[in-house]
Structure 1
Amino acid sequence: MLREARTASVPVTEVRAANPVVPHREGAVSHDTSRQDGGPHVNSRERESSRPNDVNQHLIDIVTNLTESVATLQNCYQRLESRLESQTRRPVAAAAGSENQPVVDSSRPVPAVINSPSVQLVPTPLQAEYTLETAYKRFQEDSTLSQDVKVSETGSSGRPSSCSLPPNGVNYDDLSLHVDSLWDSALSQRTRASYQSGLNCLLTFILMQGTSFPANTLPAVDEDVLIRFVTHCQKSLHLKFDTIKLYLAGIRFHYIKNKLGDPTANTLRLSYILRAVKKTQVNTSVKRLPITCAILANMCNAIAQQGMFNPFVDLMLLCIYKTAFFGFLRCGEFTCNAVWDTNFIRICDISVLPDLSCFNLTLRSSKTDPFGKGVNISIFENSVFTPVSTMREYLNLRLSSGATLSSPLFLDHIHSSTPLMRHTFISYLKETLSRVGINNKSFNGHSFRIGASTSAAAAGVEDHVIQTLGRWSSDCFIRYIRINPATIRRAQQVMSS
């Protein structure tokens, strides 16, 4: 008992010195000598008799497990640090040489990966740097640094990065409003109104059939409903084939917009019905006649010499007739269909050169300009019609009357600021033609564009020049050229000679 008490009271270092390495024998527990935790070599019999040594050994095991946990955390931190450095290396390299860019400290030592379960109890200075507290603190520092580094922009030069997000996140309400505006911008104002008319016609037809549906919703539509709707438009409403097709396009647009799919998809029977409608309808459209150079001269001479309406309207019509002819203008490019239309020509859209050799017209909206970039048209002076001098005289009259640069160029009434309406211009045109003794039945606002093409072809202007003057993107301008009987007669005489 006295020997056991003395042995228990001896410190661990003394026990290690007093008890040299004991050879391994059967029934004894031996620890690896490579362990650096100071654990003694004690067999099973001595462990049973040395309870304080068991407490020490238990504490050593706990510390060893904790050290292994710290090693695992160091491993995780290493991987995280490597990932952060790989993400920030390229932006820092791209920003090298800039004084305003932060520099990532790449010389910081990287801890070695500890894989052995036998870990020293006394940490080295390098290991003391990577504790849980210091690892978390350095992780925060690296995260802040990676946020401060400016990410280099990729792609074409001058193009902003498409992967950046606003700091406050995404406002889905603003996005929804912008999506609605994009839906509206997908169509022109005139097409949007026609599509809405087609949808209203369909909804009215469905209600007439005794089918009800909730407000602000679209009813379910199948091929049978569309076939009956087309038949109703042809038989009861007496609509033309082109109008029926336009209505179907409007129905398709609104159903796709409301996430209801395309009701006209896979409608084989409907296509045959539309073909039948087209064949059964008689083409009653009147072929529009051109206002050629000779007709334009008669109209201008009659207005200038005799006068037709009042001095202001006469000068405005002279300016319109000459500009529409030499500019190959469509009627919708210088007139409006409704008072709320904003795509009209303003005074500021006209710029006259100081030498009066030319004036430039900017169209805010055109059929061949769906994105609204604007179309520039140059009209040069000539000694026969003097379009530039007429435009300069008209501009001086408007500006002297108190008009501003944002005022409409052509007015619907002399004492109003309303832009010129299409029906008003057509009435002026037909009245002018009647005054010069021409039957006005087959003339309309598009006759100036047709007449300019016909006159250019008769004068020997090359086809590609005509296509450029009329702003055509294909050879469809050939349909605008009207060949008179005298030209056909001369061609046949040349063929027979």
Structure 2
Amino acid sequence: MSKRKAPNKPTSTSTPPKKKNSQEPQHMQLDTIIPAVTQSVLATLKDMGVLKGTEESGQPTTSSSSLSPDQGTSQCQTPGNTDEGTTDCQPPVMPIPSRMPVQGGAIFDRMRLAESSSGSHSRGSDNTLTDVAQCLVTSSLSQASQNTYNRALSIYKSFVQTNKHIPDAMPITTQNYLFFIAYCHEKKMAASSVSTYISALTYVHKLIGLQDFASNFLVKKCLQGYNNCLKSPDKRLPITIEMLHKLLESVDKVCTGLFMKVMLKAMYLLAFHACLRIGEFTSNKGAPAIISYSDLTFKDFQNGLPTLMEVRISNFKHSKGRSVVIAITAKKENKLFCPVSNMWHYVSLRGPVDGPLFTFLDREPVTRSFFSTMLGRCLIFCGYDNKVYKGHSFRIGAASAAASLGKSESFIQEMGRWKSTAFKKYIRIQSFSV
């Protein structure tokens, strides 16, 4: 039987036309643009100190001795061990800052670089827009919060120095977050403080543009266990009306000089009747007090003396741009304990000069430490324990006094400018006689 031959294949040397690749021009452009942009960004990061050096290939160099075993790119956690499926394998790119970095500084530097390179606007206009954006971001964090976050960074730096196997580098890995929480537990730090420190570190990561692993399931559970095992009850007690009167009487015995006596009495009375946080009327670490002289208004004068005082409070905690005006009426039965007459006396000695409401004669603002020291002396003179009565005790006492008078919860919350129902823990009616 003859074998059937296979049909001959076409011998044409012509090749079928290739399918047109619509992406080819884009690839050619990307091949040209990407290296140039990469080199420009790396050079900028190096000038900013974010990268310590680069190899000829353009990749940032990282000393292997500064990495812990879990921080290499080849050893990552599986998605099941991290929150929302993220992997804890991003290598450190910069050291932990000692203080809060400029709000989004690196991003805004890149904004200026991109805008100046584009040539689409004038340089002056670009810088103005970038500066405005940076100023708005900076204003999102109050000075008090910045001070707290700086303390968090300082504590984490101490933790790194104590534990040599922990690298001084960001991003902080899940493992090192757990080490840090354990370190705080050994130091007997309050659970609420540690949660604040973790929030501060998270904020810095977001500020710099780094991935943060504080939302990891293990980190959350570690903080929850910390709170369960080491709860720190609020030991501060409220200053009652009776105590306030005794403190006012003690000022004349503890202080010297008319101006100092009048000023402290006005501070005690305003702190109580306006339910103030101590940081709202004193200066702390260079940060000015929130209440200024221009925020004070006297009204309804009778015989040359005011019977009503209004205090405007702005930029307080959780204010989000809104202001609150607190009206305080005069106590006609006893001028010694009247917040309006005492404030009127103080302002007449202080003079109509703008700036923080409470200042010394040299116009320097009254600091938190000075106020706390003088309050402690008055408490000791009256026979009270200055370990459980603090500057915040005026605020606790005001909330408790309002509750004892039958004021509604919404009234107390608005009076104290509380964002949530956290005010309820300040109400200690058992300390008052209703």
TM-score after normalising by structure 2: 0.63
Deviations 1:203-241 (A, max 9, x none): 56456535767xxxx534321222222223332x44332
Q: 1:326-341, aligned counterparts within 5 Å?
A: 326-338=273-285, 340-341=286-287
Secondary structure, aligned partner of 1:484:
helix
Measure, in 1, the Cα distance between the counterparts of 2:381 and 2:152: 40
> SS at 2:246's partner residue?
helix
Paired residue total: 307
> What stretches of structure 1 of length at least 5 have no aligned partner?
1-166, 491-497
5+ residue gaps, structure 2:
1-119
Q: Hey, what's the Cα distance between the residues in 2 that align with 1:282 and 1:467?
A: 25
Change (3 A) 1:382 1:349: same
Superposed CA offset, 1:116-156 (max 9, x none): xxxxxxxxxxxxxxxxxxxxxxxxxxxxxxxxxxxxxxxxx
Alpha-carbon contact 2:254-2:377 (below 8 Å) kept: no
Q: After superposition, what is the alpha-carbon deviation per residue over 1:172-191, rounded to whole angstroms, capped at 9, x for unaligned? A: 44444334323322211222
State, as a whole percentage, how many aligned pairs show the same letter. Answer: 27
Q: Aligned pair in 2 of structure 1 residues 351, 226: CA closer, same or farther (>3 Å)? A: same
Q: SS of the residue aligned with 2:276?
A: coil
* Structure 2 letter corresponding to 1:396: S
1:78-126 alpha-carbon deviations (Å, 9 max, x no partner): xxxxxxxxxxxxxxxxxxxxxxxxxxxxxxxxxxxxxxxxxxxxxxxxx
Aligned-residue CA RMSD in angstroms? Answer: 3.0
In structure 2, distance between residues paired with 1:426 and 1:211: 38
Find 1:387's aligned residue among 325, 339, 342.
Answer: 339
Measured in 2, the distance between the counterparts of 1:432 and 1:341 equals 26
2:107 aligned with 1:180, yes or no?
no
SS in 1 for 2:429: coil
Secondary structure of residue in 1 paired with 2:310: strand
Give 1:473 shift: 4.3
Counterpart of 1:107? Answer: none
Which residue in the other structure is 1:87 paired with? none
Q: Single out whichever of 419-428 and 449-458 deviates more from structure 2.
A: 449-458
**In the aligned structure 1, how far is the partner of 2:159 from the partner of 2:367?**
32
Contact 1:286 1:442 in 2 (8 A): no
The match for 1:320 is 267
How far is 1:419 from its partner? 1.0
Residue of structure 2 equivalent to 1:148: none
Alignment partners' CA distance in 2, 1:343 and 1:370: 17
In structure 1, the partner of 2:416 is 470
- Is the CA contact (8 Å cut-off) linking 1:199 and 1:254 kept in structure 2? no
1:425 aligned residue = 371
The answer to whether the Cα contact below 8 Å between 1:351 and 1:360 also exists between their aligned partners in 2 is yes
**Alignment partner of 2:226 out of 277, 298, 301:** 277
Of structures 1 and 2, the one with the larger relative CO (CA 8 A, separation 6+) is 2
| CA displacement at 1:257 relative to structure 2 | 2.1
**Is the Cα contact below 8 Å between 1:255 and 1:263 reproduced in 2?**
no
What are the Cα deviations for residues 240-268 of structure 1, in whole angstroms up to 9, with x where unaligned?
32222222212222222222222224x22
Provide the secondary structure at the position in 2 that maps to 1:377: strand
Partner of 1:78: none
Other-structure match for 1:349? 295
2:403/2:429 contact within 8 Å kept: no
Q: Which of 400, 405, 429 is the equivalent residue of 2:353?
A: 405
Instruction: Say which SS state the counterpart of residue 183 (structure 1) adopts.
Output: helix
Q: Distance in 2 between matches of 1:327 and 1:434?
A: 24
Q: What residue in structure 1 maps to residue 178 of structure 2?
A: 227
Q: Is the 8 A contact 2:401 2:432 kept in 1?
A: no
**Counterpart position of 1:246:** 196
SS of 1:442 mapped into structure 2: coil
- The Cα of 1:425 is off from its aligned counterpart by 0.8
Q: Tell me what 1:295 maps to.
A: 243
Q: Work out whether residues 214 and 220 of structure 2, in 8 Å CA contact, stay in contact via their aligned partners in 1.
A: no
Preserved CA contact (<8 Å) 1:333 1:365: no
Equivalent residue runs for 1:36-115 within 5 Å: none
SS in 1 for 2:224: helix
Normalising to structure 1: TM-score of the pair?
0.55
Change (3 A) 1:337 1:168: same
Rg larger in 1 or in 2?
1
Q: Secondary structure, in 3 states, of the residue corresponding to 2:412?
A: helix
Alpha-carbon distance in structure 2 between the residues aligned to 1:201 and 1:440: 27
Aligned to 1:460: 406
Shift of 1:443: 0.5
Quick check: 1:454–1:483 contact (8 Å CA) kept in 2? yes
